[in-house]
């Protein structure tokens, strides 16, 4: 069985086994691709998003990438931060959030590249990312009682 995106991981990064993190990572990309097809996330072409002035530092790779690639990376980082908290891994959650929040902040300043739906999704990611930040940086990290749906908190 060939998983979408997993072949890339195997060839590019030598990933030899399927892990929960890899499955969640690739699943998140696929959800965004479907979201783009059904509701449209971006208001400009891929060529426009690739222009140097529209690039944003990726929350995963920590280097400037095309806007849509950084949008995808932000969604992946957010979901992986939630997953890390679900597994009570505060250090991993902090690692994902540390790259996520600056990337989201840069993307919100490029509202013209997103459809209304895409910007609404970005705002939801910002809200959830800030909630996770608060949970990971509070003095009383009680991860045992973490509500997996950060938007409900």
Identify any residues that bridge with 64 across adjacent strands, giving them in sequence order: 57
**Predicted local confidence at residue 126, as pLDDT:** 97
In a domain, 2, yes or no: no
Residue 39 is predicted with a pLDDT of 92
> How many domains, the chain?
1
Q: Can you tell me the distance from the alpha carbon of 36 to that of 7, in angstroms, rounded to the nearest whole number?
A: 22
Q: How confident is the model at residue 140 (pLDDT cuts 50, 70, 90)?
A: low
How many CB atoms neighbour CB 116 within 10 A?
11
pLDDT one-digit tens code per residue, 56-111: 999 999 999 999 999 999 999 999 999 999 988 999 999 999 999 999 999 999 99
Per-residue tokens: 136? 């990971």
Domain presence at residue 100: yes
Angle value at C-alpha 149, between 147 and 151, nearest 5 degrees: 110
Residue 4 included in any domain: no
What would the pLDDT profile of 16-58 be if each residue is shown by its tens digit?
667 777 778 788 878 888 888 899 999 999 999 999 999 999 9
What is the distance between the alpha carbons of residues 151 and 153, in angstroms, rounded to a whole number?
5
The conformation of residue 17, written as its DSSP 8-state character, comes to S
- The pair of structure tokens assigned to 74 is 């932000």
Domain interval for residue 109 = 21-152
């Amino acid at each position: 069985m060939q998983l979408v995106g997993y072949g890339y991981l195997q060839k590019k990064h030598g990933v030899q086994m399927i892990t929960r993190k890899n499955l969640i990572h690739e699943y998140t990309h696929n959800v965004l691709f479907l979201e783009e097809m059904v509701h449209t996330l971006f208001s400009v072409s891929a060529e426009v998003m690739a222009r140097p002035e529209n690039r944003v530092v990726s929350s995963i790779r920590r280097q400037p990438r095309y806007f849509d690639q950084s949008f995808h990376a932000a969604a992946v980082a957010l979901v992986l931060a939630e997953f890390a908290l679900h597994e009570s891994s505060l250090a991993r959650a902090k690692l994902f959030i540390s790259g996520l929040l600056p990337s989201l902040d840069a993307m919100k300043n490029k509202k013209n590249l997103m459809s209304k739906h895409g910007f609404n999704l970005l705002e939801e990611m910002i809200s959830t990312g800030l909630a996770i930040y608060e949970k990971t940086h509070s003095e009383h990290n009680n991860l045992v009682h973490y509500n997996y749906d950060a938007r409900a908190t």
